């Protein structure tokens, strides 16, 4: 967050255009401030909050604000176990992608050298 928005009031002003903010929470960490925002209203529309959150996520994630040196990270709120599963899933996906990097190729002529293979691949 750029200093101009790194307050509860600044974050609320950034996200109010996407809907009514029903509640918010601020937490300081060694890496910086974290803000949790919950959209909601007083009507019976149960989909209001999720729609607002989805729109805010789509428009604000990885947005570079004026005066900031890093892009915003905006993600859906998850329970601790859901976050742990998501992190584990990403780690497994990364490991599996690395396994597909090796190739087995055969049936080259006997006089093929390493230099020939380097040029070919």
- pLDDT tens figures, 27-75: 888 888 888 999 988 777 888 888 999 999 999 999 988 888 888 889 8
Domains of the chain: total: 1
118 domain residue, yes or no: no
Cβ-contact 50, 37 below 8 angstroms: no
User: How far from 75 is each of 37, 57, 59, 105, 106, CA to CA, in Å?
Assistant: 11, 6, 11, 43, 46
112 domain residue, yes or no: no
Note the pLDDT tens digit of each residue in 80-104. Answer: 899 899 989 988 888 877 666 677 7
**What is the total residue count of the chain?**
121
Q: Is the pTM of this model over 0.85?
A: no
46 domain residue, yes or no: yes
55 domain residue, yes or no: yes
């Amino acid at each position: 967050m750029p200093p101009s928005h790194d307050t509860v009031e600044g974050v609320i002003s950034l996200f109010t255009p996407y809907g009514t903010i029903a509640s918010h929470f601020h937490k300081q960490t060694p890496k910086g401030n974290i803000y949790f925002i919950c959209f909601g209203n007083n009507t019976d529309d149960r989909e209001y909050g999720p729609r607002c959150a989805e729109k805010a996520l789509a428009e604000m994630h990885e947005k570079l604000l004026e005066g900031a040196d890093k892009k915003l990270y905006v993600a859906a709120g998850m329970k601790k176990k859901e976050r742990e599963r998501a992190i584990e899933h990403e780690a497994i996906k990364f490991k599996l992608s690395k396994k597909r990097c090796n190739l087995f190729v055969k049936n080259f002529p006997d006089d093929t050298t390493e230099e020939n293979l380097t040029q070919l691949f």
